[in-house]
């Protein structure tokens, strides 16, 4: 049995504190709605925007989060279009859980170019002390490309403007990895 936490569990532990006072939260890849549900349950005063490009994913998320539907806006579109939908900036927390929708086609997934372009936009919209968390999956080909690109992208971020940390189980091959980005004042 694994008792050391994986990337998603660590992400949720870290997010719990920052969600307490968050007003604007984005689930950039809502999928089956598990992360959106977690965000809704743990952010007492936030408005949440949940994005996914797949109608089935948005529908799954709606079903998963029914008790919280009044605080969530569900958007079937790419997270790269975030500015089209969100006028009330800055963003407190943005969560990316990359890859493909579990139980659906593995041909539809996040892609390196769009992910990096969206991060460029999202970090401009982020408030001081705001958080972007990214769970990346190097265990499949595009996921590995995306993970390596993210390592380079985040390494190059100005340390006076952003603090970046990574967490990954070290002795598991290609384990999911958590990237945590905090915007500095
Ligand atoms: C690993 S799943 C997300 C899991 C989800 N957070 C959950 O808790 O069930 C990744 C999701 O990203 C979505 N996706 C891929 N590219 C996207 C994009 N450009 N914008 C928004 N969602 C995207 C996929 O359709 C898929 O549902």
Mean pLDDT of 16-45: 97
Per-residue model confidence as pLDDT tens digits over 81-108:
999 999 888 999 999 999 999 888 889 9
- What pLDDT sits at residue 97? 98
- What pLDDT sits at residue 105? 87
Residues whose CB is less than 8 angstroms from the CB of residue 8 and which lie 6 or more positions away in sequence, other chains included? 97, 135, 176, 178
Take atom 19 of ligand 1 and give the residue whose Cα is closest. Answer: 78
Which of 38, 39, 53 for a ligand 1 pocket mutation test, highest count of atoms within 8 Å of Cβ?
A: 53
Tell me the pLDDT band of 127, cut-offs 50, 70 and 90.
Answer: very high
- What pLDDT sits at residue 133? 98
- What pLDDT sits at residue 138? 97
Angle ∠(146,33,91) on CA atoms, nearest 5: 70
| Domain 7-183 sits in CATH 3.30.200.20 | no
What CA–CA distance (Å, rounded) separates 20 from 142? 34
Tell me the pLDDT band of 80, cut-offs 50, 70 and 90.
Answer: very high
Mean pLDDT of 100-117: 94
Ligand 1 center to 145 CA (angstroms)? 17
Ligand 1 center to 125 CA (angstroms)? 20
Strand partners, 152: none
Q: Is 97 in the pocket of ligand 1 (CB under 6 A)?
A: yes
Q: pTM for this structure?
A: 0.97
Q: Is 180 in the pocket of ligand 1 (CB under 6 A)?
A: no
- What pLDDT sits at residue 173? 94
Q: Please tell me whether residue 69 adopts helix, strand or coil conformation.
A: helix
Q: Is 99 in the pocket of ligand 1 (CB under 6 A)?
A: yes
Domain locations along the chain: 7-183
- What pLDDT sits at residue 44? 97
Helices (H), the chain: 7-19, 34-42, 55-64, 82-85, 112-125, 141-155
Considering only residues 144 and 6, tell me which one the structure prediction assigns the higher pLDDT: 144
């Amino acid at each position: 049995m694994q008792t050391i936490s994986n990337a998603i569990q660590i992400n949720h532990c870290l997010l719990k504190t920052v969600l307490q006072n968050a007003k604007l939260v984005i689930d950039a890849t809502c999928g089956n709605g598990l992360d959106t549900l977690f965000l809704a349950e743990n952010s007492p005063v936030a408005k949440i925007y949940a994005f996914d490009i797949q109608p089935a994913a948005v529908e799954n998320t709606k079903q998963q989060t029914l008790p919280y539907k009044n605080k969530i806006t569900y958007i079937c579109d790419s997270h790269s279009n975030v500015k089209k939908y969100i006028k009330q900036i800055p963003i407190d927390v943005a969560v990316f859980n990359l890859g493909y929708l579990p139980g659906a086609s593995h041909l539809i997934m996040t892609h390196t170019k769009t992910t990096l372009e969206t991060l460029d936009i999202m970090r401009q919209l982020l408030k001081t002390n705001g958080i972007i968390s990214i769970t990346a999956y190097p265990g499949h080909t595009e996921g590995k490309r995306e993970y390596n690109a993210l390592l380079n992208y985040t390494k190059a971020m100005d340390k006076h403007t952003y603090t970046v940390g990574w967490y990954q189980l070290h002795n598991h091959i290609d384990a999911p990895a958590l990237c945590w980005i905090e915007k500095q004042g």
